[in-house]
Structure 1
């Protein structure tokens, strides 16, 4: 963009570029580049004075701009219009919902707006010349897509980054920012995946979380604040690892519902903010910095542990099953909790028993058999305890032996 109307004079000390070196790590997609930080001394802000598109020296600027009354820097977004000095003032920052290029008349896609916001939010607030120039090139690439100002092949884009006084790192970083934004720009979605869809009261389980970008890539290094009711969580917050995944333990309370909520408050920006000039012939500015957020929640059902019994009734003498035998199950307090009768296979099944100790009591035996003694049995979560009951046949009473009958013989008498 042209800055000729406010061009510093050759004697202006602000023209002297003082390079102070600091250790600054700049993330570039797949790697980290450790670069010197060069603090710009020209009046516009971090970046470089370069020739304009006609070749006139030091009449354009690639980099960021210091905006009066704004904490931080902004970037020009209309490359063929006059610079900020011609604006006659700017409006307050407004969220951008649609952007149309004043150079091409084309409307930027929502995807490109989000990617520009990502780079501005993550890398735009800087005093580093190379970094500011790289962000400037990225902003034009997204807002002027397909034009001469757009990387990777736009003629003017390559010219602006190719001047001798512009560090080669600026182009390298711009390429890295474009690649990174393509993977990790928002809007964002939090995904919550429980290890178990149905929870058991008192049984520890785990929940896995990740945050995905607009293109579905898992985002590393995201802090998630957790709000959990109905269960004890292993942590109040977690941070996604290098693979973009975080895990937290969860121990549900007795019965009911577990409400699990996750909130990410410091994600990179996914919406642009811009300043509109009073003079329509001046460039609009887009503000660096900003952040976005995402949240999600799931609701899980907790069930209390349940078990059961399988009572098998057989005859002690024949080993055959006995049908029609009546039973009752009593809890540890002596209360009857279930009653039933054995089927043709000699079995009776009892379900939905809370883990604990129970007594199996035979109420009525089949004819010819004695009642069996009570049995105590322990029921555990999710299991059916086997109870084998054998009835002993009632012994037959011995038949009494007949007593001999003596018939007295009477003497015969004569007539």
Structure 2
């Protein structure tokens, strides 16, 4: 049964020689044509006695045009009518046919050694192909196979060459594999591409010519070394994914290029010197810089309210994380830095170029803060970080008061009012002023005035957050008086005033 495969690629073939033992076994393929049916003529080999069968009269190769062929059915009639076009066969299976492994070995010998026009080598190829595809009496030590070899004028060399070909095919025959690997780099660096070729048994395949090409760079030619590898280096001038492609030529076949006879019962043949071209590729990442912008205008927020940072990102469009940390508080804007104590860390995901707002963090202590934002790198973009987006957190002052003797004063007398300042703890201190409005003739007139108008007295004290101080004011006239405490805005606090006409903020002096 014949099973055909699709040709991957066929290319021009180069001369390759292989020195083995004392005499050369040369693997030089000829140019293979796509000719249709042709009659074959003798090409390279030796005349031997005729037997009336295809194996008699000649040991070696024939040719159809410029294409060498070797018979694969020795017991059939000689082929005098010609051959069909070649078809690819990877397994000559059947009740008495060659196995897939034997087919691959015969194909390897034909590909490797069947294209060189030398009588002794062609005779050895002929004998080796019969040994693998027919076997038994047609093996190199079988009755018919050994007799044909012995009928040549240089039978010792033919036998030695055939033995070498069979041993080498056992070691190397089968589908060859190509693998390309490449190291990533940064813009301005170098991509190192390694091509590894292995034979049908996974061993290094040496001596195969190849071309390695990279996106945007000149291609490089090389030959695989004893380790089956070839290395090329390419300058990386642009960020992104760079495709590295290897084209390996002169690869030995693992499939027969089989030519069936035009007339049933006559001999079939397989082409010699056919080679394959294998292609493999990979992608190499080249990293370039990405840009990160932070706001330059300082931001002010109230303590206990969320603080956010908006960033501008320009990169490669790959999904990646942006991490923001809010550092502080510091005692002054000049001392704020992206180190030390922090409020916390937030993150978001960035993709396309543009503006992104990170989730908020809530500072509860007045002071000076600064954001540190880091955008992760990708295979084609370098990581980037920045420190900035200065943020001032201001305390929200809360003033309240309680008059100690709001209804028992008799003029003239001193009134004492306890003023409490809250909203943040400790320093820095702020100036707090107690405004005394009045006198009003009635309580209704006081309320209608709404802590506006003439201020009778305005004592001040410097207070720290979280403290209560007594304020004293001298009252000379009878009447109703309104009390209201105020504090102005500072760099680290918002101004505030107590409620007007609230409980404990009125005096009735008799």
Q: TM-score range by the shorter chain?
A: 0.5 to 0.7
2:288 equivalent to 1:304: yes
- Alignment TM-score, normalising by the size of structure 2: 0.51
Contact 2:371 2:387 in 1 (8 A): no
Distance 1:99 1:192, change over 3 A: closer
RMSD between superposed Cα atoms in Å: 4.6
Q: Kindly tell me: are residues 186 and 351 of structure 1, through their superposed partners in 2, closer, same or farther at Cα, counting changes over 3 Å? A: same
- Larger Rg, first or second structure (1 or 2): 2
Shift of 1:134: 0.7
Q: How many residues align?
A: 321
2:81 aligns to what? 89
Q: Distance in 1 between matches of 2:22 and 2:200?
A: 25
Q: Aligned to 1:161, what secondary structure does the other structure show?
A: helix
Secondary structure in 2 matching 1:242 = coil
Deviations 1:147-193 (A, max 9, x none): 21124x43332332234723311111112212222333342221112
Equivalent residue number for residue 61 of structure 1: 58
Aligned partner (choices 144, 148, 164) of residue 137 of structure 2: 148
Question: Aligned with 1:121: secondary structure?
Answer: helix
With a CA cutoff of 8 Å and minimum separation of 6, indicate the structure with the bigger relative contact order. 1
- Aligned partners of 1:235 and 1:249: how far apart in 2? 10
Gaps in structure 1 of 5+ consecutive residues: 1-23, 38-42, 327-334, 368-392, 401-415
Q: Any conservation in 2 of the 1:323–1:342 contact (CA below 8 Å)?
A: no
8 Å contact from structure 2 (residues 197, 204) kept in 1: yes
CA shift for structure 1 position 218: 2.2
Q: Distance in 2 between matches of 1:309 and 1:237?
A: 49
Say if 1:310 and 1:105 are closer, same or farther in 2 by CA, change over 3 A.
same
Alignment deviations for residues 245-293 of structure 1 (CA, whole Å, 9 cap, x no partner): 0112244455443223222243223332334334434322222222212
Q: Which residue of 1 aligns with 2:109?
A: 119
| Residue 98 of structure 2: aligned partner | 108
Q: Which residue of 2 aligns with 1:207?
A: 193
User: Which residue, out of 18, 21, 26, partners 1:27?
Assistant: 18
Deviation digits for residues 108-163 of structure 1, max 9, x if unmatched? 23333232222222221333221111101111122113x21124x43332332234
Q: How does 1:342-357 map to 2 (within 5 A)?
A: 349-352=372-375
Query: Is there any run of 5+ residues in structure 2 with no aligned partner, and where?
Result: 1-14, 27-40, 293-322, 333-338, 346-353, 377-381, 396-426, 432-460, 463-510
Q: TM-score if structure 1 supplies the norm length? A: 0.61
1:166 is aligned, of 154, 160, 176, to: 154
Which structure has the highest strand share of the two? Answer: 2
Distance 1:165 1:25, change over 3 A: farther
Q: Find the aligned partners of 1:316 and 1:205 in 2 and give their Cα distance.
A: 50
